[in-house]
Amino acid sequence: MVPIDTRTTIRSLAGKALACRLRGQYHEAEALYVNALEIAEQALEETDPQLASLSNDVAVLYKYTGRFDVARRLYLRALKVFKKYSKAEPLTLAMAYHNLGGLEHARGRYKRAEAFARRSVVIREKVIGPNHPETAADLSALAAILEGQQRYDEAERLYRRSLAIFERTFGPDHYEIAVNLNNLATLSHSTGRTDEAEKLYRRSLAMKEKLLGSEHPDVAITLNNMAALCRAENRLDEAASLYRRSLYIFKKVLDPNHPNLVACAANYGRLLAFNATVPSSRA
């Protein structure tokens, strides 16, 4: 029998860690999660739902911080337990599939990601219906995976469907709406609709800054994307400014080898190299 105060300690640490993660304080979140996980692994059985839930939460953080192998191991540990209780808790199983799909998407493994994402959509539509915001989150995740495969028409339909659900449910200002606006913007940019893309990016950026603060890593993602758009339109000074802002944020919260930081630094480096080859028009 696990003492109640042990379970309470684990929940308290995990709750504080989650609050740090949501604020973009990834290093602080990791320290708290590691502490909670050490206690849980010593006190709880491998099949304990609390350990599975904690493993899933820690995996989410490691996915954000680019430690994909560790995230996958923890997700699979959680999935094994969630499957055991899937008849009583089907939405927990859907969450596990959603998260594994997101991890495979982050690694560029789109076919694997799609299989997981579709499983999650099927479960949620059956249990809570096609117009629930959690179903919309699954649809948005699936859309991002399809976009990665350049299946743009399918992706856009799902983005717009999920965005409509979020707007009906939450009103005009919500984190999920900001994320979907950013995703729609990247798709619009990829399909040559740059004016539309820029409007969507600016809406997403304003919403993220309002909801998350100006130095949250999610803000940096949109800044990087906007910089790429400005670079493509030869607005080089504006692109450079956006890349610098994005890099400043990423360097504060991410490890040096994180994919987002590496990609942003490479983009900025190419821009600087290009600028160096352009003749100056100044006297």
Tokens for 1? 């029998």
**Structural domain includes residue 68:** no
DSSP letter string, the chain: ---HHHHHHHHHHHHHHHHHHHTT-HHHHHHHHHHHHHHHHHHS-TT-HHHHHHHHHHHHHHHHTT-HHHHHHHHHHHHHHHHHTTTT-HHHHHHHHHHHHHHHHHTT-HHHHHHHHHHHHHHHHHHT-TTSHHHHHHHHHHHHHHHHTT-HHHHHHHHHHHHHHHHHHH-S--HHHHHHHHHHHHHHHHTT-HHHHHHHHHHHHHHHHHHH-TT-HHHHHHHHHHHHHHHHTT-HHHHHHHHHHHHHHHHHHS-TT-HHHHHHHHHHHHHHHHHHHSPP---
**Structural domain includes residue 109:** no
**Structural domain includes residue 159:** no
**Structural domain includes residue 168:** no
- Nearest-angstrom CA–CA distance, 254 and 216: 11
**Structural domain includes residue 217:** yes
Question: Which pLDDT tens digits describe the chain residue by residue (283 residues)?
Answer: 778 899 999 999 999 999 999 999 999 999 999 999 999 999 999 999 999 999 999 999 999 999 999 999 999 999 999 999 999 999 999 999 999 999 999 999 999 999 999 999 999 999 999 999 999 999 999 999 999 999 999 999 999 999 999 999 999 899 999 999 999 999 999 999 999 999 999 999 999 999 999 999 999 999 999 999 999 999 999 999 999 999 999 999 999 999 999 999 999 999 999 877 755 433 3
Domain count, the chain: 1
**Structural domain includes residue 264:** yes
CATH of the domain at 272: 1.25.40.10
Cβ atoms < 10 Å from Cβ of 128: 15
**Structural domain includes residue 199:** yes
How far, rounded to the nearest angstrom, does the alpha carbon of residue 205 sit from its chain's CA centroid? 15
Residue range of the domain that includes 202: 173-276
Do residues 37 and 9 lie in contact, with contact meaning Cβ atoms separated by under 8 Å?
no
**Structural domain includes residue 120:** no
